[in-house]
Structure 1
Amino acid sequence: MPDELPLSGIRVTALGETIAVKTGSSQWDAITGQLLLDFEVAEIKGEVVFLDTRPGKKEAALHAAEWYDLGEQLMKSDVKGAEQAYRRALELSPEPYYEAYVDLGALLCEDEGRCEDALRVFDQALALFPDDAVLHFNRAVALEGLGRLNDAIQCYERCLELNPSYADAHHNLAILRDSLGDKQGFVRHLSAYRRLSI
């Protein structure tokens, strides 16, 4: 027993076959010194109200932003971790999280074996942001990675319909047109690319 604790300050009781020492509101096993907790079951008086512990819209948006920031930090050092963080941001966000879609799709597209996964992400994003030139451009890149060149051309053209000054779309479209033997399309888009890049 601690020296500062007078014997008058303790109470010794039996709890079943255990000897318990009690001081104030605390009690412990007299032999092992282990703290004993009292889990007395009592009837509930009144109504039980369950609290909604789900985060509100503002808190969910903050959590999503934190996951997105983590994804950005992990992009160079831990690709799998970055992917998980972006996916978590998309799950948590109360609103469609444009940047997380773009970055997750681009991350997946960097791995040539995951262009199909990237395409799914871009398709989900385009369902929410159908008139976004960047998403159409990125979808075209994923389609190129899958060898679906005609579909890629359509996406690059849609990107340019939405933003005629998207230089990289002109560049990629020029290369595709050239690979398919369309010299006129090659010259037209390469000229546009050069004009916009100056």
Structure 2
Amino acid sequence: MCNFKERKVIGCIAFSVFLGGCGSEQSVQRSDLVPDTVSPSPVAESPAIPDPVEPLPVVMNDPLALESTLGDVSSVIGESEEESVDDILAELDAIQLDGLEGNPLGDPDKVVALMHEGNSLISDGQPDAALAKYEEALKFAEKEGDSDVFFNMGIAYKAKGEIDKAVAEYRRALDLVPGYAEAHNNLGNLLKDQKKYDEAIMHFESSIKFSPDNPSTHNNLGTVFAMKGNVNKAAVYFAKAVRLKPSYIDARQNLGLAYMQQGRLDAAEKELGEAVKISMGGVAYEEKRLEAAKLMVDQAKKPGSPLTFEQRNRAGGELEEAEKASRIANAKYQRSLKLFQNIRGKRKGAL
């Protein structure tokens, strides 16, 4: 049921100021994820709010197929009188599928519905209300719980600033599904913030193992290596992130800074120049989006507007999102430009 970022790095150029893209949080929505967000320092994680993957329906065996596998049942169990409908219903009522109390098979549809409600509340900035929905969802989950619910609870606790609880929920998700790439990534970000770098690296590497083509995770892993002072390894992962997603501005900024640390000024200028071009395009795109959102809001405010109440509300929400996206795009551009001018100044000084 998400997600997408500035990072700190150590080194002679004060990576703690310049490194971008750190903390890319992913979502269980494996379309996951995850839009990138930007901050001037370690970036806000990006939980594109997760939507759970709906459970596949259980397909019962074709009862007619039993005939071919069992052969002549009467030859195995002997002749017997047919049971009445009442007898059969009584037997079914007496059956406990696993011999335990509770709801061993759960109600997957109810779990999914409650997770969607919780996700909407997270989007509205109500993590406490979202957690209540997720807790309710667990009542309808299978006995061992639900990895996606635990994952969503981790995002909600992170939004509340209760990091230890968020860590615990991601660990619960991984206990159920060790190959949950998004949970490994988000847990890695929290451990990185706690300066538990080695454990963070382990989880980022696990995330890449199960989802090798996610550029955000490569960028996250590069960031932790940079924080540990291993700029050479950091550059490898930043470069991988750029190869996977050439428009990934944060990764290009980080790669440019890593090259600068390595003394590869030509390569650094090239990467940071590309970051400027891409971020300029992002600014232009978000300006158009913002103008369109403003027009929609103006139309909604006019007397006799044909828009429904829901459409008017949606227009207001779109304007807020467009304004935020425009601020982020401008911040990315200004940062890219500053870094590019910095490397140009260093190159001139080296001549």
Q: TM-score range by the shorter chain?
A: 0.5 to 0.7
Q: 1:91, CA displacement in angstroms?
A: 1.6
Q: Which residue of 2 aligns with 1:67?
A: 150
Match of 1:155 among 237, 240, 261: 237
C-alpha separation in 2, matches of 1:133 and 1:172: 13
Normalised to the residue count of structure 1, the TM-score between the two structures is 0.66
Letter in 2 for 1:91: D
C-alpha separation in 2, matches of 1:118 and 1:163: 23
Decide whether aligned partners of structure 1 residues 55 and 194 sit closer, same or farther in structure 2, where only a CA change above 3 A counts. Answer: farther
Give the 3-state SS of the residue equivalent to 2:196 in structure 1: helix
- Greater share of strand: 1
C-alpha separation in 1, matches of 2:182 and 2:207: 10
Letter in 1 for 2:268: F
Q: Which residue of 2 aligns with 1:4?
A: none
Q: Does 1:105 align with 2:188?
A: yes
In the TM superposition, 1:117-196 aligns within 5 A as: 117-196=199-278
Q: Does 1:51 align with 2:51?
A: no
Unaligned runs of 5+ in 2: 1-95, 109-140, 281-351
Unaligned runs of 5+ in 1: 1-48
Q: 1:136, CA displacement in angstroms?
A: 1.0
Normalised to the residue count of structure 2, the TM-score between the two structures is 0.39
Residues 68-99 of structure 1: CA deviation (Å, up to 9, x unaligned) = 12211211422111101111112224x84333
Number of aligned residues? 149
C-alpha separation in 2, matches of 1:123 and 1:191: 30
C-alpha separation in 2, matches of 1:155 and 1:80: 28
Residues 81-122 of structure 1: CA deviation (Å, up to 9, x unaligned) = 1101111112224x84333222111111122x2111110001
C-alpha separation in 2, matches of 1:131 and 1:66: 24
**Deviation >6 Å, runs of 4+:** none
Of structures 1 and 2, the one with the larger relative CO (CA 8 A, separation 6+) is: 2
- Greater share of helix: 2
Q: What is the aligned-residue identity percentage?
A: 25
Decide whether aligned partners of structure 1 residues 55 and 121 sit closer, same or farther in structure 2, where only a CA change above 3 A counts. Answer: farther
Contact 2:197 2:224 in 1 (8 A): yes
Q: 1:127, CA displacement in angstroms?
A: 1.2
